[in-house]
Amino acid sequence: MYNSKITGLGYYVPENVVTNDDLSKMMDTNDAWIQERTGIKERRHVLKGGEDTTTSMGVKAAKIAIERAGIDKNDIDFIVFATLSPDYYFPGPGVLVQRDLGIKTVGALDVRNQCSGFVYGISVADQYIKTGMYKNILVIGSELHSHGMDMTTRGRGVSVIFGDGAGAAVLSREEDTTKGILTTHLHSEGQHAEELSLIAPGMGKRWVTDILEDNDPNDESYYPHMNGQFVFKNAVVRFSEVIMEGLQANKLAVSDINMLIPHQANLRISQFIQKKFGLQDDQVFNNIMKYGNTTAASIPIALTEAWEQGKIKKGDLVVLAAFGSGFTWGSAIIRW
């Protein structure tokens, strides 16, 4: 058995900055209201008609991660792409990344676990490497939310939260099993699936043809829905559980954590977890203030920034944790 080690990290966000004041010109909201509830000051949105797509942002992040890993693109054995906002309904963006990077005909897997997508992707890649099947795997989380938001007062409870961006990691084989990704832990609770969801288009509910035929401007089924308070209450419980599960599986304690990278869903959730575990500010990394919630991209963007800023060092215990739509949640325990 081997371990997998993160050997390269990269991220990309669009240049277009959208502040809370910018949003207040489109809907009945204001900077104080948004910051009080989410901690977000600004986010990035792709420009309509521009070149940024879910795949192209992922490709840009991947190129940086591959270069930093010190390998050639054709050393990549497998691609895992996590997103809820693919370029096409099908095929998924994994194969588009393979094409656009000009990588040989390796396998490409798409992960649809929303906010937990990157942690799920890391777990899948880790298992492939642990068993010896692959040596270098590219894992991407990328999201383009802004084109699918209800940017009116009706949709402000959701639309003020999300931003666009991508992050990527290269996982490589590590011979020393005391280093790299030690364990990952994944869970789901589908009975709450509709509490954070986008129902249409979908084969079981309303397909594209139904939406076009009805042409109903008041149809909200193709906009995201979130029961915010219910999601918050579940998130703080599941975050705590899955972090402790990971620590206990490795006979570690909260005091052993050098850096916690939580999914950037809401600054209040991160602060709640930090306070509950008694962690100092330098033990938790948050960047939701700048980027909003970028769903599957949030952890790799935050992980890359923390590493770039020297906040993660060799030998550190790094914990990744996520919770989101599904409900799904997970953690990864990493010895850097």
What tokens does 229 get?
């308070």
Half-sphere exposure of 156 (CA within 13 A, CB side): 17
Q: Is the pLDDT confidence value at 201 over 90?
A: no
Domains of the chain, first to last: 3-177 (3.40.47.10), 181-335 (3.40.47.10)
Mean pLDDT, the chain, rounded, equals 95
- pLDDT tens figures, 225-258: 888 889 989 999 999 999 999 999 999 999 999 9
Active-site residue, selected from the candidate residues 3, 20, 234, 293: 293
Q: 217 Cβ partners below 8 Å, 6+ apart?
A: none
Q: Where are the beta strands (DSSP E) in 104-144?
A: 107-111, 136-143
d(CA 162, CA 149): 9
* pLDDT band (50, 70, 90) for residue 216: confident
- Measured in degrees and rounded to the nearest 5, phi and psi for residue 185 equal -140, 120
CB 306 within 8 A of CB 152: no
Average pLDDT (270-287) is 97
Residue 115 annotated to the active site: yes
- pLDDT tens figures, 284-318: 999 999 999 999 999 999 999 999 999 999 999 99
CB 115 within 8 A of CB 295: yes
Which comes out higher in pLDDT, residue 197 or 291? 291
What tokens does 120 get?
């799920």
Residue 293 annotated to the active site: yes
In Å, how far are 45, 46, 52 from 49, measured between CA atoms?
12, 9, 9
d(CA 196, CA 61): 27
Which comes out higher in pLDDT, residue 172 or 217? 172
The pTM (predicted TM-score) of the whole model is 0.95
d(CA 87, CA 69): 27
pLDDT at 110: 98
- pLDDT tens figures, 9-22: 999 999 999 999 99
pLDDT at 109: 98
pLDDT at 225: 86
Beta carbons within 10 angstroms of residue 202's beta carbon: 13
Half-sphere exposure of 162 (CA within 13 A, CB side): 29
Active-site residue, selected from the candidate residues 115, 136, 286, 287: 115
Average pLDDT (162-179) is 96
Residue 192 annotated to the active site: no
d(CA 172, CA 38): 36
Closest C-alpha among 178, 186, 217, 184 to residue 115? 186
Per DSSP, the residues of 86-110 read -SSSSS-HHHHHHHHHT--S-EEEE
pLDDT at 224: 83
pLDDT at 1: 82
DSSP state of 239: H
Active-site residue, selected from the candidate residues 20, 185, 263, 287: 263
d(CA 299, CA 322): 8
The angle subtended at Cα 126 by Cα 76 and Cα 322, nearest 5°, is: 115
- Measured in degrees and rounded to the nearest 5, phi and psi for residue 229 equal -65, -40
Average pLDDT (249-270) is 97
pLDDT at 215: 84
